[in-house]
Amino acid sequence: DAKTTQPNSMESNEEEPVHLPCNHSTISGTDYIHWYRQLPSQGPEYVIHGLTSNVNNRMASLAIAEDRKSSTLILHRATLRDAAVYYCILNYGGSQGNLIFGKGTKLSVKP
């Protein structure tokens, strides 16, 4: 199974941009890159996903390297509410679609 590597933790200041990296060097051509986050005492929440091109939505942007071996989740202005564990997941094109979570990155946001 293709795996992802993320830093265990990151810190950010409120209202500053945050770049959360993810390495997935064994990604295959049909693997989508998904990001979910889990706020304290809640279930995971979908953030964004992409295949090859960069993606933007109201929550975040996803920048995918040209070789697809890494990606970066960008929160444009961090708020205290963005403090969560962020999971980068490869959702296999050939699989049944179940999510395989790693340990994620715990993001702390300082006021």
SS3 69: coil
Told to check if 61 binds other proteins by CB under 8 A, we report no
What would the x/- binding string for other proteins be over residues 70 to 109, using CB under 8 A?
Answer: -----------------x---xxx-xxxxxxxxxx-----
- Provide the b/e sequence for 15-31 (b: ≥16 CB within 10 Å): eeebebebbbeebeeeb
- In whole angstroms, the minimum distance from the beta carbon of 54 to other proteins comes to 16
The structure tokens listed for 3 are 């795996």
- In whole angstroms, the minimum distance from the beta carbon of 89 to other proteins comes to 10
Strands (DSSP E) contained in 1-111 are 9-13, 18-23, 32-38, 45-50, 55-56, 61-64, 70-75, 84-91, 105-110
Binding span for other proteins by CB under 8 A among 9-17, 18-26, 34-42, 58-66: 34-42
Which residues form the interface with other proteins (CB under 8 A)?
A: 30-32, 34, 41-46, 49, 51, 87, 91-93, 95-104
